[in-house]
Every structure is written in C-alpha cells, then in structure tokens.
Amino acid sequence: MEMTARRIQVRWTMAKDLNTPSEALVELSKDRNVNIRLMVAKNPNTPPRILKRLSKSQNKDVRWKVAENPNTPLKVLVELSKDENIGVRWGVAGNLNTPPEILKTFLKDRRPTVRMVLATNRNTPSEALVELSKDEHEGVLQKVIGNPNTPPEVLMYGKMRELVVKMIMES
C-alpha cells in the first residue's frame, strides 16, 4: 500500500510540475487516478490536443481545470462555455483567452458567481461591463467597480453610485 501511495505521489508531482516534458504529460493524462488527470488539465504546458480530450472527462473538476488552462483551444472553450457545471463555466468566464463573443454569453448566466468572474476578467468588453452594472447581485456590481475597463460614467448612476459611495465610506 505504501509503495502505491508513493507512486501516485510521484505521478501527481510530475503532472503539476511546469518542467515536465509534454510527452510525459500526454502519458499522465491517461492515468486512472483522477487527481493525476486533474493536475495535467491544470498544467499550462499540457498540449492543446490533450486538453481537448480531457475536456470530455466525466469528472467536472477535470473539465473545470481545462476551462481555466491558458493553453485550451478556442473550440474547446466554446464547448465548455455551455457546460452544465458552474465551475466549468466559471473557468471559461475567467480565462483570459476566452474571446469577447463567448464572454458575453455569460451575461445572463443564472449563477451570480459566474457573472462575478466575468466582471473580473480584464478582457470582458466594456459594453458587457455596462450590462453587468445593472445586475441585481451586489457581488457582481462590486466586481464591475474593480474592473479597469468599466467606463467611469457607469459608476455615477443608480445602484452603482450607491455602492461606490458605500465602498468609499468604508475604506
């Protein structure tokens, strides 16, 4: 048992190591242990073709890490943006390589946490931030305030103005 645990630890360490050669990551991506595959999905040096395969995983956490990976191909991000799992959509919404047209699809996401991540993404277009400034969820509005791409005039009206004043008074 101890030897098996040690072998798993070695594979896990290799899967997360940024210096692991891509050929080794390819092999580790086939590991039976989901935690090894999770680390491969998270590793930014994992080849795009492997991320594409891992994006089809039954395990939502593996798909989530693929969605967050900066090396994930555009077509895969598009597919993952439609995932039922909140974490996967969250990963796509926060990925700096997600194109603006895909980011805009999260404006009406039913989960405020996805919209909050969208509001923090520095590549979210200003027109999407204007739309998010009308959100009912205060957490989303706070993230809109913090995004440098938010047009200043958006901060001067309605709920946004109230929240900005509140934040200033509390600091």
**What's the pLDDT at 3?**
63
CA–CA separation, 129 vs 159, rounded Å? 14
**What's the pLDDT at 79?**
98
**What's the pLDDT at 155?**
84
**What's the pLDDT at 65?**
98
Q: Structurally, what CATH architecture does the domain formed by 1-98 represent? A: Alpha Horseshoe (1.25)
Instruction: Enumerate residue ranges in the chain where pLDDT < 50.
Output: 1
Structure tokens at 28: 């580790």
For the chain, the domains span 1-98, 107-171
131: burial class by Cβ within 10 Å (0-12, 13-18, 19+)? middle
Tens of pLDDT along 44-73?
Answer: 999 999 999 999 999 999 999 999 999 999
Q: 87-96 b/e with 16+ CB inside 10 Å = b? A: bbbbbbbbbe
